[in-house]
Amino acid sequence: MEIKFNDSCINYGGRVDIKDDGAYFYFASSYLQVRFTGTEISAVINNSSVWGTLCIGYIIDGRMGKIPLSPANNGKDITYQIASCLEEDKEHTLLIYKRHAANHSFGVKSLSCSGEFLSAPEKPSLRLEFYGDSVSAGEVSEAVDFVGRCDPASHDSAYDNSYLSYTWQTARLLDADIQNVSQGGIAVFDDTGYFHAPKMIGMESVYDKMCYFPEGGEITEWDFSRYTPDAVVFALGQNDKHNGLTDVDDIDIYDNATRTKWKEGYKKIVKAVHSHYPAKTKYIFLTTLLMHDPEWDKAIDEVVSELKADGLDAHHFMFRRNGAATPGHQIPRAHRNGSGAFSIYKDYTLRRRNGAYPVNRFFRSRFYKGTSQLPVS
């Protein structure tokens, strides 16, 4: 049985652009999900690579896999067999997702299975949205041999996997849907940070976009009415000291004028996002365990206080070793127990016997009054 990209049997998540000829993926963590029967399933995908060692991720019946992408196939409709030899008399679930951020974009044209496609899986009622950088996008998250160390010198994005990001893990533990607007190296302002050198693109030019990088195609606006979250997480500030115009870390958060400009720019993005959402929407601000000057966290504290004064339900979360735990990225470890749950490095530990990791406890105490039992994927 074959279905086209716009069939009602498919659920999409994240900022996916449904065009006339396919469903196009730009942001990390954007996904599609189907239920089906039969022993095998395949997808027709047209990929457009920018750089790096790239794969498309998938989860089938709870098992993770990936589809390697070849630059030789750029711009071509290629049929990829995702699974075969599945149990015949059983319902299966497939999630196809974007592992990487702006390294590439791809379009899904159709899906085929040897059995039948069933009605689309139900989506969770709780909705989360994240705006962040490489940590939120899950970059370098598979480099398990570099826990607490600098990142591999020339990893070429081979270790990126958005499914292992704290953002998506938090969503799964809370049984929530996710929209992840995150990109490695990004800062608040254009011409700062590290994303899209030598002409740096900041979150001020990304937060309201669907296709947000020119190599992915025509830059397109996001329709905020398509997704209304219960809570929004902002995780910026790690890359903002870098001046893209001088290629030097010379943006001084201790300088009053610089600090005020940065805070006002950050608040402008938050308020623009909030203008599309209900007044009761919760906002959570954080940075990461990656080493950085704690003065940025103090500036975020001021941002949160000022947003509260303006009527937003805003909160600032700090990890126990915020900005001081590791020179590299927070690295998930393949730590499995009988349920298939796994834990990630240090302060982000997701241990089933403890219920949740600090961000999840913070989320639940701040805005979610659901059951006491956290689901584990």
CATH 3.20.20.370 fits 126-366, yes or no: no
Q: Which residue has the tokens 């990890």?
A: 319
Residue 348 has pLDDT above 50, yes or no: no
Integer CA distances (angstroms), 223 to 17, 48, 281, in order? 10, 24, 18
DSSP conformation letters of 234-250:
EE--SSTT-BTTTTBS-
pLDDT digits (tens, 9 = 90+) for 22-75: 999 999 999 999 999 999 999 999 999 888 889 999 999 999 999 999 999 999
CATH superfamily of 2-113: Galactose-binding domain-like (2.60.120.260)
**Which tokens sit at 231?**
């809570």
d(CA 176, CA 170): 8
221 DSSP 8-state letter: B
Q: At 67, which helix (H) or strand (E)? A: strand 63-68
Centre a 10 Å sphere on the Cβ of residue 254 and count the other Cβ atoms it contains: 10
**DSSP states of 302-370:** HHHHHHHHTT-EEEE---TTTTTSBSS---B-----TTS---BSGGG---GGG---HHHHHHHHHT---
* All structural domains of the chain with their residue ranges: 2-113, 126-366
Per-residue model confidence as pLDDT tens digits over 210-264: 999 999 999 999 999 999 999 999 999 999 999 999 999 999 999 999 999 999 9
3-state secondary structure of 58: strand
Provide the 10 A C-beta neighbour count for residue 53. 15
